[in-house]
Each structure stands twice: as C-alpha cells, then as structure tokens.
Amino acid sequence: MIYLDHHAASPVGPHVREAMARAAEVAWANPSSIHAAGRAARRVVDRAREQVANALGAQAPDVVFTAGGTEACNLGVFGLARGKRRVVTTAIEHPAVGKAVAALGARGLEVVELPVVGGTPPPADRIAALGGSD
C-alpha cells in the first residue's frame, strides 16, 4: 500500500524538509502565472507531477494535486458518482468521504452503506453482488 495521507498525521522528514525548502526558493510564485517566477514554479510542479506519476505507474495528466484531504475526497467521490444512480459505501470511510456521500444522497442518489464486521470492509464479491456503484 502506498499511503499518501500524511498531511495531518505525520512529521516531515529531514530530506522532505530540504526538498521543500529548495522548491520554495524557486517555486514561490503562482504556477499559473505567465511571468518568469510563475513559469519556474510551473516547472517544479510539472516535475513533481511526473515523479508522482512514475512512482504510481500512472500518467502525469492523471495526477491531480489538491490543497488537502477533503478536497481530494470530494474530487474522487463526486467524480466517480457522476452519471450514477447509486453509491455503495461503508461506515468506516473517512468523514470527508461520508459527508460527500451524504451530499450525493441529498441530491437523490441511492446510498447503500454496507456493514463492517471487525473493522474490515465487506469482501469484493459482496460489493459485486450489489452491482457495485451504478
């Protein structure tokens, strides 16, 4: 498992602090700006996007940086639910996921919450038996 949710729960290691400090010296500007400092920041962001994509075996355009976990959860939940009638979830989701799913329910989507036994989500075959999220 690759754990990427250290934003609020983990200390920053010395090598990460050093890399962030180096990036901040060059990439302090808005990477969407067209001036030289903005273009330099864009290069740093694009390089980071490539590195993350390579580490995950993904394509760089598929990597989206967000400001935090809640934004990322919303992007994922609302994006995956687009065009669907039903959302399948569990009671052990992160609160940001739960709130996004509740918002979808308020918009009229059917929300199916599967029970969790012993802190373990239901097996994939049980989810498949429900027809997944459609």
Last residue of a domain, one of 45, 62, 79: 62
Q: In this predicted structure, what is the pLDDT of residue 75?
A: 96
Q: Is 80 exceeded by the pLDDT of residue 122?
A: no
Q: Model's pTM, two decimal places?
A: 0.71
Q: Domain limits at 75?
A: 69-129
Return the residue matching tokens 């920053």.
12
Q: In this predicted structure, what is the pLDDT of residue 7?
A: 60
- Region 113-128 average pLDDT: 77
* Among candidate residues 77, 67, 119, the one with its CA nearest the CA of residue 100: 77
Same domain, 97 and 124: yes
| Cβ-based neighbour number of residue 100 at 10 Å | 22
Residue 107 tokens read as 């918009």
Q: Rounded distance, CA 104 to CA 94, Å?
A: 16
Same domain, 85 and 56: no
- pLDDT tens-digit series, residues 88-100: 888 888 999 999 9
The number of distinct structural domains making up the chain is: 2
Last residue of a domain, one of 33, 62, 91: 62
- Terminal Cα-to-Cα distance of the chain (whole angstroms): 27
- pLDDT tens-digit series, residues 43-86: 999 999 999 999 999 999 999 999 888 999 999 999 999 999 99
Same domain, 78 and 114: yes
Same domain, 54 and 75: no
